[in-house]
Structure 1
């Protein structure tokens, strides 16, 4: 992934973590959630910004 793709993923995972915290999810569970999502994103091997956007769209917002 390039810099722009990495930034999209970082922003997405940050939002997920923030929302999980707002909903009262314990820190360990938040860390596991973010790690699981990151692993899924990596497994999709999106090699372009549009590919990363598709992966993130499938995962949900």
Structure 2
């Protein structure tokens, strides 16, 4: 996946310990800045569902 323009949070500062996102061909690519060779791909809709689940506590709820 060369040629991806990676973005990281402005809260990361100069540290190289963060999650970076890229958007090649309409999908979402996610990687750790300290292990850039490992890339997870997903769709915007799937990432949105995951983030909403985290925010609402569904991911942390053992009864869910």
Question: When the two structures are superposed, what TM-score results if normalisation uses the length of structure 2?
Answer: 0.30
Judging by fraction of residues, say which structure has more strand.
2
Larger Rg, first or second structure (1 or 2): 2
Higher RCO (C-alpha 8 Å, min separation 6): 1
